[in-house]
Amino acid sequence: MNPHLTLYSGLTAIDANGDWGDHPHADSLPAQFVPLDPAEAAILVTLQPGAYKAIVSGEGGSTSIALVEVYEH
């Protein structure tokens, strides 16, 4: 599966990524969080306290299981 990750605040998409290296801030991703597979999705974003939603979908309508991890810095 080639995942696509979209992060929402309410109904507004605030960041998204399909292939982690294509993200504009990919070079800011700490080495320990860099995915091994270039097709994996990853984003690095600073958020204010609140409720957020992460949706992971597969390209081409594919389905699978995803793990979404959130870290506090």
Split into its structural domains, the chain has a count of 1
Question: Containing domain of residue 9, as a range?
Answer: 3-61
Task: Tell me the pTM.
Answer: 0.85
> What does R_g of the chain's alpha carbons equal in angstroms?
12
In sequence order, the 6+-apart residues with CB closer than 8 A to the CB of 30 are 44
pLDDT digits 0-9 by tens, 3-19: 899 999 999 999 999 99
Asked if the structure places residue 66 within a domain, the reply is no
Asked if the structure places residue 27 within a domain, the reply is yes
CA 70 to chain centre: 10
Asked if the structure places residue 71 within a domain, the reply is no
pLDDT digits 0-9 by tens, 43-58: 999 999 999 999 998 8
